[in-house]
């Protein structure tokens, strides 16, 4: 998932100061029943999008925390229960404890870390129990990991990642059949992969490559694709790319704007397997993966179907315009503005938000954040984000493409529709709405509905299994 998932931008004053350039980073959240589908051309909504009471995208029982970032994280954890990637009672008990202690990055990190530790230490010798306790532990460590840079123990970031990864690996090993793990060549740092199969028959099957965003962990890929793929007789490939998972937190490799160089070796790896139907390899991208996956498909035409969840053309536009305006062609000038005019005015919450958002694009930003400091080279980090713009290459995509959108999409509003309009291939557009509880970036409260929409479309596009 995208680090911006919790950091929704909001409109800024007409005459902003440097401080107001950061305003809104802490605001916001911000086919199937309830979806608005477009096949070939825009169509009217099948069910009108119902506005939430009082204008809130998370009304009533959906409001676990008043802080929108903490609330989004908890809703995401709660939504994973349908895939056995969390337990409702565990999440709500954690929420109660955090609220009682005073909700902030420290209490959130500590409570979910404690839940991860608790489950990781509960080995029973029963395969299924240990399997799903490991999956839930990886979820809770991922929740703690997301907020740790805003806590008083930011140096624990890599340790939290490794704890979650150990439990994910244990879960993958305990699957039946066990996930196949490997390292796929990529530059100087190979990509770790986990290949999930419905069985060991060796029968060629359609296969989906699942692409995460800028802060999601592997457990999110189980919730948003692996389980659904296996249920339908598909294979699923999960991987860490640059700026993600192991490559970011351990190997210190940041995002690449040339994602075709990431996906290409994954396709090569799949094509060497006899249990993969070489004509039916699909690619999905969740959160900022909705920028990465389309970039790959624009240049690698072995992809037979593409899903952008949501469609994202330019991640830089998710940052407030006043912040974007301090980026100039001159590195020294830009960094002087950043260090002398912006950074001194940041409060702790604003500082955390910016550290987290820029972390996948800058090793300096990550290492400084782990020391409790703000990075100084804004120019280089911002230029890396700018380089992720795929507006100019979307027309090259040949694979049939589904573009998802969400009511109350806070980070890329309007971009899914813009991507859809730019496509020159077979295309469909679906908007998930509050009418069925599927609002917000990536539908955190409705991942099952999300997967139904995506995999129904993939089956209709690439064909259903026979027999």
| Closest listed residue to residue 287, CA positions, set 447, 85, 452, 433 | 447
Question: pLDDT category, 465, cuts 50, 70, 90?
Answer: low
pLDDT of residue 458: 98
pLDDT tens digit sequence for 217-241: 999 999 999 999 999 999 999 999 9
pLDDT of residue 463: 86
DSSP state of 464: P
User: How close are the terminal C-alpha atoms of the chain, in Å?
Assistant: 35
CB 308 within 8 A of CB 402: yes
SS3 187: coil
pLDDT of residue 466: 52
pLDDT of residue 329: 97
Q: Is the pLDDT of residue 130 over 90?
A: yes
Alpha helices in 148-226 (DSSP H): 157-174, 218-221
CA distance 244 to 249: 7
- What mean pLDDT do residues 42-50 have? 38
Six-digit token string for 402: 């589904």
Q: In whole angstroms, what separates CA 333 from the centre of its chain? A: 33
CA distance 64 to 58: 9
Q: Is the pLDDT of residue 59 over 60?
A: yes
DSSP state of 225: I
Six-digit token string for 429: 């557009």
pLDDT of residue 15: 33
Backbone angles phi, psi at 198, to 5 degrees: -65, -30
- What mean pLDDT do residues 82-110 have? 98
| Closest listed residue to residue 214, CA positions, set 42, 2, 456 | 2
SS3 38: strand
pLDDT tens digit sequence for 442-460: 999 999 999 999 999 999 9
Q: Is the pLDDT of residue 467 over 60?
A: no
Q: Is the pLDDT of residue 46 over 60?
A: no
pLDDT tens digit sequence for 8-39: 333 333 333 444 444 444 333 223 333 444 44
pTM of the model: 0.91
**H/E run at residue 428:** strand 427-432
CA distance 425 to 420: 10
Answer with the residue of higher pLDDT: 46 or 408.
Answer: 408
Q: Is the pLDDT of residue 163 over 80?
A: yes
pLDDT > 70: percent of the chain: 88
pLDDT of residue 157: 98
CA distance 48 to 138: 37
CA distance 384 to 461: 34
Q: Is the pLDDT of residue 82 over 90?
A: yes
Neighbouring C-alpha atoms within 13 Å toward the C-beta of 219: 35
Alpha helices in 34-121 (DSSP H): 68-79, 88-101, 105-120
Can you give the C-alpha Rg of the chain in angstroms?
21
Residue 280: count other Cβ atoms within 10 Å of its Cβ.
19
Q: Is the pLDDT of residue 286 over 70?
A: yes
Q: In whole angstroms, what separates CA 180 from the centre of its chain? A: 23
Contacts for 101 with CB less than 8 Å, ≥ 6 apart: 107, 111
Six-digit token string for 224: 């948003």
SS3 384: helix
- What mean pLDDT do residues 270-299 have? 98
Q: Is the pLDDT of residue 423 over 60?
A: yes
Question: pLDDT category, 301, cuts 50, 70, 90?
Answer: very high
pLDDT tens digit sequence for 131-160: 999 999 999 999 999 999 999 999 999 999
Alpha helices in 300-439 (DSSP H): 321-324, 331-337, 348-358, 363-370, 378-386, 415-422
pLDDT of residue 10: 36
252 phi-psi bin (left φ>0, alpha ψ -120 to 50, beta other) = left
**H/E run at residue 283:** strand 276-286
Q: Classify strands 235-239 and 276-286 as parallel, antiparallel or unpaired.
A: unpaired
pLDDT averaged over every residue in the chain:
90
- What mean pLDDT do residues 195-203 have? 97
CA distance 231 to 236: 11
pLDDT tens digit sequence for 323-382: 999 999 999 999 999 999 999 999 998 999 999 999 999 999 999 999 999 999 999 999
Q: Is the pLDDT of residue 437 over 50?
A: yes
pLDDT of residue 41: 40
Q: What sign does the CA torsion over 122, 220, 181, 148 have? A: negative
- What mean pLDDT do residues 301-309 have? 98
């Amino acid at each position: 998932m995208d680090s911006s998932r919790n950091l929704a931008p909001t409109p800024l004053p007409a005459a902003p100061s440097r401080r107001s350039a950061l305003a809104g980073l802490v605001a916001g959240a911000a086919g199937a029943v309830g979806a608005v589908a477009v096949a070939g051309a825009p169509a009217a909504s099948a069910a009108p999008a119902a506005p939430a009471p009082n204008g809130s995208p998370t009304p009533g029982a959906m409001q676990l925390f008043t802080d929108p970032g903490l609330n989004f994280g908890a809703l995401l954890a709660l939504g994973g229960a349908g895939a056995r990637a969390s337990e409702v009672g565990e999440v709500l008990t954690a929420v109660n404890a955090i609220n009682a202690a005073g909700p902030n990055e420290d209490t959130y990190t500590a409570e979910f870390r404690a839940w991860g530790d608790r489950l990781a230490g509960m080995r029973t010798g029963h395969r299924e129990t240990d399997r799903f306790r490991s999956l839930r532990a990886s979820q809770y460590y991922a929740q703690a990991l997301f907020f740790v840079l805003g806590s008083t123990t930011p140096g624990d970031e890599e340790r939290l990642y490794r704890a979650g990864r150990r439990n994910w690996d244990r879960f993958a090993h305990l699957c039946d059949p066990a996930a196949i793990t490997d390292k796929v060549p990529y530059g100087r740092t190979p990509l770790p992969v986990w290949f999930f199969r419905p069985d060991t028959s060796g029968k060629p099957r359609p296969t989906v490559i699942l692409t995460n965003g800028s802060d999601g962990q592997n457990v999110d890929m189980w919730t948003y694709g692996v389980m659904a793929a296996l249920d339908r007789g598909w294979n699923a490939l999960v991987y860490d790319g640059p700026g993600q998972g192991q490559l970011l937190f351990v190997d210190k490799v940041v995002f690449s704007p040339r994602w075709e160089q990431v996906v290409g070796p994954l396709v090569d790896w799949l094509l060497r397997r006899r249990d993969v139907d070489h004509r039916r390899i699909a690619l999905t991208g969740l959160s900022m993966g909705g920028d990465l996956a389309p970039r790959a498909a624009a240049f690698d035409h072995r992809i037979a179907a593409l899903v952008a969840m949501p469609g994202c053309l330019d991640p830089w536009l998710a940052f407030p315009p006043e912040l974007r305006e301090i980026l100039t062609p001159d590195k020294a000038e830009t960094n002087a503005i950043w260090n002398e005019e912006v950074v001194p005015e940041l409060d702790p919450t604003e500082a955390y938000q910016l550290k987290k958002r820029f972390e996948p694009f800058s090793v300096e930003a990550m290492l400084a954040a782990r020391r409790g400091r703000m990075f100084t080279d804004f120019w280089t980090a911002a230029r890396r984000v700018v380089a992720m713009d795929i507006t100019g290459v979307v027309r090259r995509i040949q694979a049939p493409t589904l573009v998802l959108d969400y009511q109350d999409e806070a980070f890329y509003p309007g971009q899914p529709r813009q991507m859809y309009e730019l496509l020159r291939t077979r295309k469909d557009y679906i908007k998930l709405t509050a009418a069925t509880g599927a609002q917000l970036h990536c539908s955190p409260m409705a991942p099952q509905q999300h997967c139904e929409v995506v995999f129904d479309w993939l089956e209709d596009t690439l064909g259903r299994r026979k027999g």
